[in-house]
Amino acid sequence: MKPAFSSPIPGSGFEVTNYKLKLKPDLTNGTISGSETILLHITESYPDSIAFSGNALVIDRANLDGLPVTPVSDADRIVFPMPRKLAKNSPVTIELTYHGRPERGFSRSVTTLYTSYFACDWMVCLQDKFSNKAAFSLELQVPAGMQTASIGKLVSKRPGPGGSEIQSWEAPRPYSSYLYGFAVGHFASVSENVGTVKLTYLSDAVDKAVLKQHFATTPEMVRFLSDKAGLPLPVTEYTQILVSGNEAQEAATYSVIGADELPKNHNDPADDWVIVHELTHEWWGNLITCETLNDFWLNEGITTFMTAAWKEYRYGHAAYDAELAVSQRRWDKIKSQGFDEPLTWSGPYPSLSIRRAIQYNKGAIFMAYLRDTLGDAAFWKGLRDYTRAHAGGTVTSIDLERAMEAASGKNLHNIFVQWVFGNGGNTARQSIYQKTK
Ligand SMILES: [Zn+2]
């Protein structure tokens, strides 16, 4: 039966201000159950329904401003009918209970469960509406003695039903949905301080000494990136969770690092990327977030470039060149297959690897090109000014162009049209970045 209301785009016509969750993950079965309260306000008058991202969860009960409603789900959306007419700016509270098996972003080993990117598969949220940054708090009910990690600070622990423990986390500032997450397990834990920042390393597989060795360069990375960003690490506690496999995923205030992605030999610049890449997202991605997926290169291209910049700082200029050469090769490969698009191309991309070759690799080459074109002083000033001006907010490519133009005194319109915006939607063809020594 078709619902008697429309199927809007998830996130259109409203803005979420707060997600409050109480969840009980089941490590044995890979399932989750719990409750969620969503606070939002309407941004267009009198919608007959509002929608969140689709997922495989079963909603057991839903209330909208205290009135029971029956949401209708398909693969793309969960649609909540509005039980009464609401004018623009009206606040709305949605209360849900749900259970189910998240399809994506829910990984586990025997003793550990961690989420990755697809937050809206294990909660009700807005996966692709990056511009909607909202407060986030999470109570996790776990067996007593189990550790949890989530966004922000662990604010309390208290006994729960049946000998369980309830551990409560609270985000320090609003974040986009894809940055929500948690992990539960039994971890070895090492902490150290860099200035006022507490760095923590967790693992279910290696002991404290090995853990400390793996993450030994993190304090120096924090200092390097803080200098380049013109802002200290935007969180007071940053955690890295070492897991088996090839995971490499930032969340709002922690990252999940797969052991396979760590350098096989310490001090091998060729393999040294994952720790600095995910840490870099604390500034570019998490604090300053692209407004839509079209500007995703601002998260990933800048971060891929900053990985090269870190290598230049740590290992010397040849390591910078070598890192950029990797990006150049990946971009060249898709160009040789006849594919090239400006950085803000809206897609659809033929594959995830082609999308990455543009948004990560071409994006990094463009940043290196800007650095060569503007010179170090103007380029790094422009990046710092851009970062400071948009801290906590969302950005589009024009924000970067304006910051770089202001810092350099140059008109960069043509360069940005060529590389970033494209000419009226035509495929952009630009010369390969040639390194000038
Ligand atoms: Zn990334």
Domains and CATH numbers, the chain: 14-183 (2.60.40.1730), 188-283 (1.10.390.10), 290-421 (1.10.390.10)
Q: What is the pLDDT, as a whole number, of residue 253?
A: 98
- Per-residue pLDDT at 426 exceeds 60: no
* Confidence tier at 432 by pLDDT (50, 70, 90): very low
285 alpha carbon to ligand 1 midpoint, in Å? 8
The mean pLDDT value for 283-312 works out to 98
Q: What is the pLDDT, as a whole number, of residue 424?
A: 59
Strand residues in 152-209 grouped as ranges (E) = 153-159, 164-170, 182-185, 188-194, 197-203
- Per-residue pLDDT at 431 exceeds 50: no
Q: What is the pLDDT, as a whole number, of residue 3?
A: 55
Across 311-321, b (16+ Cβ under 10 Å) vs e yields bbbbbeeebbb
* Confidence tier at 300 by pLDDT (50, 70, 90): very high
Q: What is the pLDDT, as a whole number, of residue 327?
A: 98
249 alpha carbon to ligand 1 midpoint, in Å? 7
Mean residue pLDDT across the chain: 94
Q: What is the pLDDT, as a whole number, of residue 109?
A: 75
C-alpha 5: how far from chain center: 33
264 alpha carbon to ligand 1 midpoint, in Å? 21
83 alpha carbon to ligand 1 midpoint, in Å? 41
299 alpha carbon to ligand 1 midpoint, in Å? 7
| 8 Å CB contact between 412 and 405 | yes
Q: What is the pLDDT, as a whole number, of residue 261?
A: 93
Please count the other Cβ atoms lying within 10 Å of the Cβ belonging to residue 208. 12
434 alpha carbon to ligand 1 midpoint, in Å? 25
Selected residue with higher pLDDT from 432 and 304: 304
Please count the other Cβ atoms lying within 10 Å of the Cβ belonging to residue 51. 25
Q: What is the pLDDT, as a whole number, of residue 434?
A: 31
Residue 174, phi then psi, degrees to nearest 5: -65, 140
Ligand 1 (ion): residues with CB under 5 Å are 300
Tokens of 414: 């043509």
* Confidence tier at 4 by pLDDT (50, 70, 90): low
Closest by CA to 123, choosing from 196, 20, 6, is 20
- Per-residue pLDDT at 2 exceeds 70: no
Indicate yes or no: pTM above 0.75: yes
The mean pLDDT value for 400-406 works out to 98
Q: What is the pLDDT, as a whole number, of residue 152?
A: 97
* Confidence tier at 427 by pLDDT (50, 70, 90): very low
Q: What is the pLDDT, as a whole number, of residue 436?
A: 29
301 alpha carbon to ligand 1 midpoint, in Å? 8
306 alpha carbon to ligand 1 midpoint, in Å? 11
* Confidence tier at 270 by pLDDT (50, 70, 90): confident
The two beta strands, 248-250 and 77-81, are: unpaired
Residue 335, phi then psi, degrees to nearest 5: -65, -35
146 alpha carbon to ligand 1 midpoint, in Å? 29
Q: What is the pLDDT, as a whole number, of residue 268?
A: 86
- Per-residue pLDDT at 433 exceeds 80: no
The mean pLDDT value for 193-208 works out to 94
pLDDT tens, 119-165? 999 999 999 999 999 999 999 999 999 999 999 999 999 999 999 99
Tokens of 434: 């040639």
Q: What is the pLDDT, as a whole number, of residue 7?
A: 76
163 alpha carbon to ligand 1 midpoint, in Å? 39
Across 214-229, b (16+ Cβ under 10 Å) vs e yields bbebbeebbebbbebb
Q: What burial class does residue 434 get, using C-beta atoms within 10 Å of its C-beta: 0-12 exposed, 13-18 middle, 19+ buried?
A: exposed
Write the CA distances from 392 to 283, 288, 297, 379, integer angstroms.
9, 6, 18, 22
Q: What is the pLDDT, as a whole number, of residue 102?
A: 97
* Confidence tier at 196 by pLDDT (50, 70, 90): very high
The mean pLDDT value for 270-291 works out to 96
- Distance of alpha carbon 156 from alpha carbon 174, whole angstroms: 20
248 alpha carbon to ligand 1 midpoint, in Å? 8
| 8 Å CB contact between 138 and 115 | no
Closest by CA to 314, choosing from 218, 427, 238, is 218
Tokens of 328: 């150049």
pLDDT tens, 215-246? 999 999 999 999 999 999 999 999 999 999 99
110 alpha carbon to ligand 1 midpoint, in Å? 27
Sheet holding 106-108, edge to edge: 106-108, 113-115, 182-185, 147-150
Q: What burial class does residue 376 get, using C-beta atoms within 10 Å of its C-beta: 0-12 exposed, 13-18 middle, 19+ buried?
A: exposed
pLDDT tens, 330-353? 999 999 999 999 999 998 999 999
The mean pLDDT value for 385-412 works out to 98
Q: What burial class does residue 8 get, using C-beta atoms within 10 Å of its C-beta: 0-12 exposed, 13-18 middle, 19+ buried?
A: middle
pLDDT tens, 47-97? 999 999 999 999 999 999 999 999 999 889 999 999 899 999 999 999 999
